[in-house]
Structure 1
Amino acid sequence: MFIFDLHLHSKYSSDGILDPKTITKVAIRRGLNGIAITDHNTIKGGLKAKEYETKNFKVIIGSEIMTNNGEVIGLFLSEEIRSTDLIEVISTIKAQNGIVVIPHPFDKMRHSALYPTDEEAHLIDCIEGFNSRCIFQKYNDKAVEYANKHNLPLVAGSDAHFANEIGNAGIVTQSEDLQDAIIKNNIEIFGSRSMLINHAFTKGLKRWRKIRYG
């Protein structure tokens, strides 16, 4: 059995603070077999974390990219994605043999949420069916409903910005080939919601950085 948290942020995100080395250490200590670093609009955190990958612990390079329609996660990336056009971003992820994930769709508490239409379902590889930072469970439920309607695989992630959130959500698979397991939907998701204080810490961090760096 292999356990992965597929949505984490490092200090390379504008709202992150964790060093990639720290993330890997905490994840290993919590019994995870791997993680995906999905920093905002960059793969720098994933590339750095990859240095700490071991035989028994896998690091997936990813990025959470803001498009003109909302955020899209690319997993198994090898290059930065510069475009902000939804279709171009999806095409670029696929051109890198990556996986297209829609994180926290339909979450009205986030300005960054993407609201995929029925017509766009064929562009998507999988839906994040559980995000620990969805304040209201109904938004996770709506994501699952959309995935089931369009026969799309479900993944999950903690959306961790702080160490106490790492491993709060993720996927379990019996397959050693995670990418294949996701595409073939040979996975199960799990998760628990993050404490509200973590949201407050994130807002405080953003405010502090704005004051310090302008």
Structure 2
Amino acid sequence: MKYDFHTHSKYSPDSWMEPETMVKTAVKKGLSGIAVTDHNTIKGGLETKKFERKNFKVIVGSEISTERGEVIGLFLSEDILSHKFSAVIDKIKEQNGLVVLPHPFDELRGNGLKPTEDDAGLIDYVEIFNSRCFLSKYNEKAKEYAKKHGLNVIAGSDAHFAHEIGNAGIDTGSEDPADAFKEGDFTIFGQKSSFINLGLTKVLKTWKKTSSG
């Protein structure tokens, strides 16, 4: 069972994927589920969950901007409106969600959160492979931080386009991703995305902002 835990639908300002397309693409690629982690909203996750199938899970999440960098909440039921790091952590935990640090240490994109020693106790999972971390050292730093502090690890494609879905994630024998999390019974898989995708994302974000304005 393979799951991609970091994807973006059209409800993110820098993606245009339709929820149904995301599910069809993921199933075609042999995935058993995805987490939809749109920027600052769970709407994409909720819409995508409508297309959930018997053998395909959709996890509702959100990648939330804070003053220190981005934080992902998984298994959410409500939007988190705060953008203060400490408050975002609290709100995720109030929903019994999981706190994930996506692409920490990623200086190239400028939105990676550099965790401190004190942050370790607040984090449930560290994303140690993000397909859009174009410099391997950023994924390596994340892996080192997780190992040093005994933290659980995760991976995701950070897909903004359909062809990126499934570029990274976890492989587990569990049919339920929640069970896989609890048991830690999974392995990481991943491959890098093309640098071109980052450029296309920036173009798309500018176009959507201009069109809506």
C-alpha displacement of 1:210: 3.3
> Are 1:114 and 2:116 an aligned pair?
no
SS at match of 2:154: strand
Q: Which residue of 2 aligns with 1:32?
A: 31
Q: Which residue of 2 aligns with 1:202?
A: 201
Equivalences for residues 25-174 of structure 1 within 5 A: 25-174=24-173
Encode CA deviations 1:99-139: one digit per residue, 9 max, x unaligned.
Answer: 00000000011221100001110000010000000110110
The alignment yields a C-alpha RMSD, in angstroms, of 1.0
C-alpha displacement of 1:87: 1.1
Greater shift in the superposed pair: 171-180 or 28-37: 171-180
In 1, Cα distance between equivalents of 2:182 and 2:109 = 27
C-alpha displacement of 1:165: 0.3
The one-letter code of the counterpart of 1:98 is G
In 2, Cα distance between equivalents of 1:111 and 1:134 = 11
In 1, Cα distance between equivalents of 2:183 and 2:73 = 17
Unmatched runs of 5 consecutive residues or more in structure 1: none
- Kept in 2: contact 1:125–1:183 (CA 8 A): no
In 1, Cα distance between equivalents of 2:182 and 2:121 = 13
- Kept in 1: contact 2:13–2:209 (CA 8 A): no
In 2, Cα distance between equivalents of 1:137 and 1:183 = 28
- Kept in 1: contact 2:16–2:161 (CA 8 A): yes
Count the aligned residue pairs: 213
- Percent sequence identity over aligned pairs: 59
C-alpha displacement of 1:84: 0.8
- Compared with structure 1, are the counterparts of its residues 66 and 183 closer, same or farther at alpha carbon in structure 2 (3 Å cutoff)? farther
In 2, Cα distance between equivalents of 1:68 and 1:108 = 15
SS at match of 2:211: helix
- Kept in 2: contact 1:153–1:183 (CA 8 A): no
The one-letter code of the counterpart of 1:59 is V
C-alpha displacement of 1:213: 3.0
C-alpha displacement of 1:73: 0.3
C-alpha displacement of 1:175: 2.0
SS at match of 1:13: coil
TM-score w.r.t. length of structure 1: 0.96
- Kept in 1: contact 2:172–2:180 (CA 8 A): yes
> Are 1:211 and 2:205 an aligned pair?
no
C-alpha displacement of 1:180: 3.5
In 2, Cα distance between equivalents of 1:118 and 1:184 = 25
C-alpha displacement of 1:186: 1.9
Greater shift in the superposed pair: 30-39 or 166-175: 166-175
C-alpha displacement of 1:184: 3.7
SS at match of 1:83: coil
Task: Could you list the structure 1 runs, at least 4 aligned residues long, displaced by more than 6 angstroms after superposition.
Answer: none
